[in-house]
Amino acid sequence: MSSTKVLPHPVAPSVTPAQSHALPRSLIGLMATGAGLSVASLYYSQPMLGVLAGDIGASGQATGLVPTLTQLGYALGILLLAPLGDRHDRHNIMLIKAAVLVLALLLAGLSPSLAVLLPASLLIGLSATLAQDIVPVAATLAAEAERGKVVGTVMTGLLTGILLSRVISGVVAEQYGWRAMFFIAAASILCIGLAIRRYLPRFQPSTTLPYHALLGSLLGLWRQHRALRRAAIAQGLLSVGFSAFWSTLAIMLHASPFHMGSAAAGAFGLAGAAGALAAPLAGHLADRKGPEVVTRAGAALAAMAFVMLSLAPMLSLNTQLGLLAAGAVLFDLGVQASLIAHQAVIYRIDPAARSRLNAVLFVCMFIGMSLGSVLASMLLAGYGWSAVTGFAALASLLALLVRCRR
């Protein structure tokens, strides 16, 4: 296969998936920051919907389509665009997505009506899959002995972006307006795109499959590799509990007996971020002890945390709040540790198919998160918070069963 021409600006040489070496911390930091800022674009709109609806003259129900279309775009992007990383130079793909994401965020910030904001939101979701191109890049560049640790660090950036995006956008929207948040986000992605262009190397494609065959190979990979199926199913089940908690927390805190606002739910996001910061440790343990140990420990920790949270309504209000914060740290640590270990598992299956393997894993995660959000809303309305946490605990125990069965 012919090598890809290198741009004249100072970038590292072209690499193949088989080539890897010790990475400088600055490059790992760039990839972690890029993944976090990219995926954060999906969540900036959520705390701003109330302010946004009044400003553009749309109903609350109609404005709710904004985050829905953003998530839909992200799911479609993972399924339809992420596999292209195996077929084309990932360097070019990342630059194109960064440029499109900047334009989409600017369009959202300038939107005069919901008719413009909705397609902009869909485009934000599609191009925010830039984050899903950065993770396989980290796995390709990292040496075998440190791959789990490097991927864990990059995933820490991605997960921190998810958990802190709502807090940041709420503060910015309150101080400067909702449009300012989209403009700031566009500027941050522009900086990431320029850094990617200068410092990340080009990559030789690992397959020459045409696009339709590339997508068809996703099903083939699923059928061929049992390790991929186990990883995707287990992580999808853990994502059910993760989404069930975070999608209903604000509603639960707003109701009796807490009567707290959206800022309180954002503060619990900080507690979850503390758990995500341990992702590099999970990657290091996966490198040393093997990913199987980490996946089981992570699922067990998540299940234990949700069982603990199901007992919260029996306690005093202050004790409940402390238990919620502790539970958020513990189950978030468990879910993220399992994700890092599962990525270590799938990246060992076929280095030439890492983008497609990553796409399969994250599509299953997205399905789990969608199911968790829908079912948890129904459980909260019909049976209360204990039913939500009990449901999350059951999903986590099923994930542990998947990992323990031979």
CATH number at residue 268: 1.20.1250.20
> What are 203's strand-pairing partners?
15
The range of the structural domain enclosing residue 366 comes to 217-406
User: Is the confidence at residue 15, as pLDDT, over 80?
Assistant: no
Which of 156, 177, 205 is at the close of a domain? 205
CA 349, CA 343: separation in Å to the nearest integer?
A: 10
Show which of 205, 226, 248 is a domain's final residue: 205
Ranges 112-126, 201-215, 269-283: which has the least confidence = 269-283
Given pLDDT bands bounded at 50, 70 and 90, which one contains residue 170?
A: confident
Model pLDDT, residue 61: 65
What does R_g of the chain's alpha carbons equal in angstroms?
21
Residue 223 has pLDDT above 80, yes or no: yes
The total domain count for the chain is: 2
232: nearest Cα among 116, 136, 362: 362
Tens of pLDDT along 329-369? 899 889 988 998 998 899 889 988 888 998 899 889 888 88
Residue 11, in any domain of the structure: no
- Could you tell me if 144 and 258 lie in one domain? no
Summarize the confidence of residues 7-15 as an average pLDDT.
Answer: 44
Q: Looking at the structure, do residues 223 and 194 belong to the same domain, yes or no? A: no
Residue 118 lies in a domain: yes
Same domain as 177, residue 50: yes
Question: Which pLDDT tens digit goes with each residue over 102-128?
Answer: 999 999 999 999 999 999 999 999 999
On whether residue 322 sits in a domain, the answer given is: yes
Residue bearing the bigger pLDDT, 30 or 61: 30
Residue 383 lies in a domain: yes
Per the listing, tokens 């890049």 go with 137
> What pLDDT score does 21 carry?
56
Residue 211 placed within a domain: no
Q: Within a domain: residue 396?
A: yes
Q: Does an H or E element contain 39, and which?
A: helix 25-40
For the chain, the 3-state helix, strand and coil shares in percent, each to the nearest 5, are 80, 0, 20
Least confident of 87-96, 206-215, 280-289: 280-289
